[in-house]
Amino acid sequence: MLSIAIVGLPNVGKSTLFNALTRSKQADAQNYPFCTIEPNVGVVEVPDERLAPLANVSNAKKIVPTAIEFWDIAGLVKNASQGEGKGNAFLSNIKETDAIAHVVRAFSDGNITHVENRLDPKDDADIINLELIMADWQAVSSRLEKTKKNAKGAQAKEYVKELALLERLAAHLDTGKKASQLEFDDDEGKIMKELHLLTSKPMMYVVNMDDSQQSTDYRPVFEEGVPHIYISAKTEQEISELSAEDAKEFMADLGIEQSGLDRMIKAGYELLDLVTFITSGEIETRAWTVKRGTTAPLAAGVIHTDFIKGFIKADVTNWEDFVAAGGWSKMKETGKLRLEGKQYVVRDGDVMYFHVAT
């Protein structure tokens, strides 16, 4: 399962946000730094309005949406990369996840202590980004020293490309830029993947605002080209504690069409460059997650690894055509049911039935 780390300074609303996302109270959300030590981990369903109508025409007994795992990482502070505030342990937790949700405090509340004793969202974002960059610089410098020792004698030629990349990457990070801002070729990309750098991970900003700020045009941007989600974690937690019907009415009163959490979950899904294909029948209607560009056999392998080797073909149609036709039994009459082979690249919203050899 793909995972997203929720990071930021202490007392910016990370644990409140995590509790709202997971509809739980498992993360401590007290008014003091480092109230979270070990990361809290929760699985969150990805909202998908396509599943209910698909299940309806298939007479499915149940609906199974896809999901993302969220990790509530303890608050980082200035000099975390040097071990300040148990920073080394917290940074290592982030390495285990696939992407980062960087929570930035934009709300004012005198009852909630700010670790820097001021309210400056842009500076807060810069502090966390710098700590991630510094942690990466240390990792790259360590790898560079090790590579230099190995690149001697007959083995030197094997390390030419790696040495050049590491030296360029160390210099790049030293200027305060993220690893994701460095250009590299396909061969260098393989080395970059091995490094598991924090600033190589896809990231979005989650700006935690006052309710009054959300009703205005207050929309701070901390980094161009990076997704920004604007929410009130406090309000989102209130919404998460309501029934679906009451939540809908509450959001309508606030003038909210879609909860911030739903927007955040969907943004995370897009951030990880995922697409959803769907299987639908009487037993269940289920959403499946694959990376964009995945071929049909590998998509079948998400259901069961044996399906990769046994893949023969797949019946494929768009979910809207499937609903309009009234299910599999009537799809052939529409002329919109396609038979796809091993080279087919799965698209978001495909409804698929796999034929496999047993």
Name the residue ranges covered by the structural domains of the chain. Answer: 293-356
Q: Does 13 appear as a known binding residue?
A: yes
Cβ(128)–Cβ(203) under 8 Å? Answer: no
What is residue 74's predicted lDDT score, i.e. its pLDDT?
76
CA dist 251 and 243 (Å) reads 12
- pTM here? 0.81
Residue 203 host element (H or E)? strand 203-208
Q: Does 153 appear as a known binding residue?
A: no
CA dist 90 and 148 (Å) reads 29
What is residue 322's predicted lDDT score, i.e. its pLDDT?
96
Q: Does 122 appear as a known binding residue?
A: no
> Residue 33 is encoded by which pair of tokens?
């730094």
- pLDDT tier, 41 (very low <50, low <70, confident <90, very high otherwise): confident
Query: Among 71-80, 188-197, 237-246, where is mean pLDDT lowest?
Result: 71-80
| pLDDT tens-digit readout, 129-156 | 998 999 999 999 999 998 888 877 777 7
What is residue 83's predicted lDDT score, i.e. its pLDDT?
54
| pLDDT tens-digit readout, 28-38 | 444 434 444 56
What is residue 110's predicted lDDT score, i.e. its pLDDT?
61
Q: Does 15 appear as a known binding residue?
A: yes
What is residue 213's predicted lDDT score, i.e. its pLDDT?
64
| pLDDT tens-digit readout, 255-270 | 777 788 888 888 888 8
The SS3 call for residue 212 is helix
Architecture of domain 293-356: Roll (3.10)
User: Does the pLDDT of residue 291 top 90, yes or no?
Assistant: yes
User: Does the pLDDT of residue 206 top 90, yes or no?
Assistant: yes
Q: Does 16 appear as a known binding residue?
A: yes
> Residue 334 is encoded by which pair of tokens?
């529409």
What is residue 88's predicted lDDT score, i.e. its pLDDT?
57
User: Does the pLDDT of residue 159 top 70, yes or no?
Assistant: yes
Q: Which long-range contacts (CB under 8 A, 24 or more apart) does 223-231 make?
A: 223/125, 223/129, 227/267, 227/270, 227/271, 228/204, 229/204, 229/205, 229/260, 229/263, 229/264, 229/267, 230/260, 231/17, 231/206, 231/207, 231/260, 231/261, 231/263, 231/264
| pLDDT tens-digit readout, 56-99 | 999 999 999 998 888 888 767 666 555 554 545 667 788 889 99
Q: Does 180 appear as a known binding residue?
A: no
* Mean pLDDT across the chain: 85
